[in-house]
A = this chain, B = another copy of it.
Amino acid sequence: MTYAKTTVFTEEQQQLARIAKALAHPARVAIVQLLAAKKTCISGDIAAELPLSRTTVSQHLQELKALDLIRGEIDGLTVCYCLNIKLLQQVNQQFTTFFVEATANEPCGPDAGCAC
């Protein structure tokens, strides 16, 4: 067996992994859900809803913002974070494609060189 490393990760794979990473913490999932529910969008209120310190929540917000999944608008003294709906729709499409392709066929079998 040759063990040639033919593949480097594609931009597509890296992009999917990046977004997955952004959602890889329950706090960040919760933040997106909070914003979607329109319950609030103000930084401090978000922190108040989560069992974490304001500092930590701010850090999670920055992570989501770094990927442009949310955007912050300064409104006087407070900051309002809004979902980037368009990007989320795009990302939704990427995940859907990934999962559909992953679940399209029965896996393995003789084609792949195994008996299962």
Contact = CB atoms under 8 A, between A and B. Distances in A.
Interface residues of A, number: 73
Contacts of A4: 48
Copies of this chain, tallied across the complex: 2
B51 A8 contact: yes
Contacts of A39: 112
B42 A26 contact: no
Interface in A47-79: 47-51, 54, 73, 75, 78
Interface of A: 1-10, 13-14, 16-17, 20-30, 32-33, 35-36, 38-42, 44-45, 47-51, 54, 73, 75, 78, 80, 82-83, 85, 88-89, 91-92, 95-96, 98-109, 111-116
